[in-house]
Structure 1
Amino acid sequence: MKWIPQEVETYLSAKEYVDTAVIPVYSLSFGEEMKQSAAAFEFISLLTGYLEKQFTGRILLFPPYTYLKSEHIENVVSGLSKWEETVVQNEFKHIFYITSELDLRMFENKVDGSLIWLPSLPLGNMNEPQKIEVVESQAKQLLSIFTQKWSNHE
């Protein structure tokens, strides 16, 4: 389910079945890194959107956690922890952070949720069918991570 009124309404009436929060994490850069930042955003957006479609009824795709690349990474992790605390209080059993931000990999043990880092794949020069193929390929790898986490906590 997506973070839109109709689907949130469905979530509220079926909360007991939706136990997983998916939170895309992006950094925002300007100047020379702006294009790379936009490419990572596109890749992670398409990927998390695909996951949401595959697991509709099991996951809620949250709005992205976005921060400035110039921000201290410790502050970013602290912000993620605050989100996590609220998400857990609202009865989500599983939290997956999906990101292409390499800096966050060093802090994956600082959050209780599962931080999944993927290298950003440049989709800019691909046509739509090629983009879908690349995203599906990456998503298949994530599907096994999700199902493994779910089976370990059931």
Structure 2
Amino acid sequence: MKWTMKDVGTFTQEPEQMDTVIVPLIPITLGGQAKATAGMGEYLQYVLLELERQFHGRILILPALTYWSGHEPEQTLQSWIEEAKKANVKHVFTLTCDPYWRGKDVAGANEVIWLPASMSEHMDEEMRRKIVRDQVSTLIGVFTSVWFSME
């Protein structure tokens, strides 16, 4: 489900069925790495759209937590997770293409999932869709294993 009035209303009315949020983590920069950083965010958006399609009614995708590249956004993320837990959200996943998060563990999050941004501006639409579908297939396994282990 997306961060829209309709979807959020449904999410809050059916907390037993919809117990998972995804926090996208997207770095920004206006320096020399701006194009690559924008590519990370673009790829992540494609993945999130496909996840929303696959899990509509089970997950809520929050607006992206954006932060300046090179800064340490852990405290902000931690407060987002705490607020979600106060709202009785059982599962919080974070998704990012920023290598900064590789191997990071954030208290309260089920997973901090780093995705390789495997897209190029010269890639055709069919290839992009295949890469996104493959990535989402892997994520489905991660999510379902956490859901089933917590039941």
| TM-score clears 0.5 | yes
Gaps of 5+ in 2: none
The alignment yields a C-alpha RMSD, in angstroms, of 1.2
Q: Secondary structure at the match of 1:131?
A: helix
1:96 aligns to 2:113 (yes or no):
no
Amino acid at match of 2:127: Q
Instruction: After TM superposition, give the deviation of residue 93 of structure 1 in Å.
Output: 0.6
Q: TM-score, normalised by structure 1?
A: 0.92
Instruction: After TM superposition, give the deviation of residue 32 of structure 1 in Å.
Output: 1.2
The structure in which a higher percent of residues are helix is 1
Instruction: After TM superposition, give the deviation of residue 91 of structure 1 in Å.
Output: 0.9
Amino acid at match of 1:128: E
Query: How is 1:115-130 mapped onto 2 (pairs within 5 angstroms)?
Result: 115-130=112-127
Amino acid at match of 2:25: V
Determine the structure 2 residue equivalent to 1:141.
Answer: 138
Determine the structure 1 residue equivalent to 2:16.
Answer: 16
Once the two structures are superposed, what CA deviation does each residue of 1:106-134 show, in whole Å capped at 9, x if it has no partner? 4x223321100111112421222221111
Amino acid at match of 2:107: V
Query: Alignment length, in residue pairs?
Result: 150
Measured at CA, do residues 122 and 88 of structure 1 come closer, stay the same or move farther in structure 2, by a change above 3 Å?
A: same
Amino acid at match of 2:16: E
Q: TM-score, normalised by structure 2?
A: 0.94
Report if aligned partners of 2:82, 2:108 keep a CA contact under 8 Å in 1: no
> Could you tell me the percent identity over the aligned residues?
30
Distance 1:119 1:111 in 2: 23
Gaps of 5+ in 1: none
Instruction: After TM superposition, give the deviation of residue 53 of structure 1 in Å.
Output: 1.1
Instruction: After TM superposition, give the deviation of residue 62 of structure 1 in Å.
Output: 0.5
Determine the structure 2 residue equivalent to 1:86.
Answer: 83
